[in-house]
Structure 1
Amino acid sequence: MSKVRAAVFASGTGSNFEAIMSDGDLPCEISLLVCDKPKAAVIEKAKAFGVETFVFDAKQYKQKADYEAEIVEALQKNNVEWIFLAGYMRLAGATILEAYEGKMINIHPSLLPAFPGIDAIGQAFNAGGAETGVTVHYIDEGMDTGPIIEQETVPILSNDTKETLQKRIQIVEHRLYPKVIRQILRDV
């Protein structure tokens, strides 16, 4: 039986991509990286893992539907069944959502619905609360509004800086995301 084929969407350094790729127990094959930043470090990580890449610059397209149509074409060419967002800094539009409804998940560095969107760690840190965390959720048309799959709390310590908090959150992300992917794909 062949493994489920999946794609990772990322925009930055690719630490969650690397955590997914380094998990030796995933019941899927990551066959494509989709990246919207042509100079992102995650592209080199994908090459090191032997993963094909689809890299685009959204500014080169008239509208979101145009680049999303090319992404869907690349996903279908690679027989991708699931999409895992890992630091992808764009909202999924109707073109991708319709093609992969219920088969797209994201990891977000806060306890949603608190602190959605960009710089969730900074938002949580500046709010002065006692805790934040990590959420894995399904993707819908909103910003970090899809149904929550799993969450894990990370305390905000009195001596934390934004950087130390980020490091602790990433440790949780790198463990939690592969675990949730394993759970979801074993249930399909």
Structure 2
Amino acid sequence: MTRRRVAILISGRGSNMVSLIEAASQPDFPAEIALVLSNRPDAAGLERAEAAGIATAIVDHKAHPTREDFERAMDAELASHDIAFICLAGFMRVLTDGFVERWAGRMVNIHPSLLPLYRGTRTHRRALEDGVLVHGCTVHFVVPELDAGPIIAQAVVPVVPDDTEESLAARVIVQEHKLYPHALRMICDGTAWLENGRVVFSKGWNASGSLHSPTSA
């Protein structure tokens, strides 16, 4: 099995990074986490990656006069580690169209909502304000428009009457840690790929499952 070399881009503690590293440590996983790159020298996730034996790199955006210069430095690091695929995991920089287009079909992100609902920030607060009864997370290919890329996978959680932003976020992130490795596996083993602006799947799946909300405990 050929394992695709993946870089994870972070800006903070990297909780989704950890779930990807743990998944990739399994011998049957079709991806190798070859690099963790941060735009912040103090990102806690760097130490966690080093502890797992993963190569790390820092490309401080503050050290570069323009976004294009910053991204050229990132591209150089990615090329030096022979990276084939990028996972964004709490990477808090807006990427230029040029960078996104260079990595088209090879860069994914996880977002804490059921896209196309609640693009951007404060997703849990907005879901609660709207009174929705289900919420969740989405893994998608990255395109120049924010949180608008073709959807690879989604996970759903119920919203309950006493939820706060914190309790809802805690329920969603559990699913994020399961969904992101699942989506990366599908991409790297050829089960899912981007074609003509849509995600194509080579296999069917069980369509009988459902989530009803509300339900009794």
Structure 1 and Structure 2 fold alike (TM over 0.5): yes
The answer to whether the 8 Å contact 2:3/2:30 transfers is yes
TM-score normalized by structure 1?
0.93
Bigger Cα displacement from structure 2, 133-142 vs 29-38: 29-38
1: CA distance, partners of 2:129 / 2:40: 28
Q: Say which SS state the counterpart of residue 70 (structure 2) adopts.
A: helix
**1:94 positional shift:** 3.2
**1:2 positional shift:** 4.2
The answer to whether the 8 Å contact 2:96/2:144 transfers is yes
In structure 2, the partner of 1:89 is 92
**1:60 positional shift:** 2.3
In structure 2, the partner of 1:44 is 47
Query: Which letter does structure 2 place at the counterpart of 1:172?
Result: Q
Matches within 5 A, 1:1-188: 2-23=2-23, 24=26, 25-187=28-190
**1:96 positional shift:** 2.4
Q: Larger Cα Rg: Structure 1 or Structure 2? A: 2
1: CA distance, partners of 2:178 / 2:80: 30
2: CA distance, partners of 1:75 / 1:48: 20
What per-residue deviation string (whole Å, max 9, x for no partner) do you get for residues 135-157 of structure 1? 11000111101111111221111
TM-score normalized by structure 2?
0.81
Bigger Cα displacement from structure 2, 104-113 vs 123-132: 123-132
Identity %: 37
1: CA distance, partners of 2:37 / 2:116: 26
Query: Which letter does structure 1 place at the counterpart of 2:54?
Result: V
The answer to whether the 8 Å contact 1:20/1:177 transfers is yes
Structure 1 residues 10, 47: CA separation in 2 closer, same or farther (over 3 Å shift)?
same
- The alignment's C-alpha RMSD in Å is 1.5
1: CA distance, partners of 2:155 / 2:78: 30
Task: Note the residue ranges of structure 2 that are not aligned, 5 or more in a row.
Answer: 194-217
In structure 1, the partner of 2:211 is none
Structure number with greater CO (CA < 8 Å, separation at least 6) is: 1
The answer to whether the 8 Å contact 1:10/1:89 transfers is yes
1: CA distance, partners of 2:101 / 2:146: 16
The alignment of Structure 1 onto Structure 2 pairs a total of residues equal to: 188
Task: Note the residue ranges of structure 1 that are not aligned, 5 or more in a row.
Answer: none
**1:43 positional shift:** 1.1
Bigger Cα displacement from structure 2, 93-102 vs 126-135: 93-102
Query: Which letter does structure 2 place at the counterpart of 1:21?
Result: I
2: CA distance, partners of 1:46 / 1:108: 21
Query: Which letter does structure 2 place at the counterpart of 1:86?
Result: A
The answer to whether the 8 Å contact 1:54/1:71 transfers is no
**1:125 positional shift:** 2.7
Q: Say which SS state the counterpart of residue 65 (structure 1) adopts.
A: helix
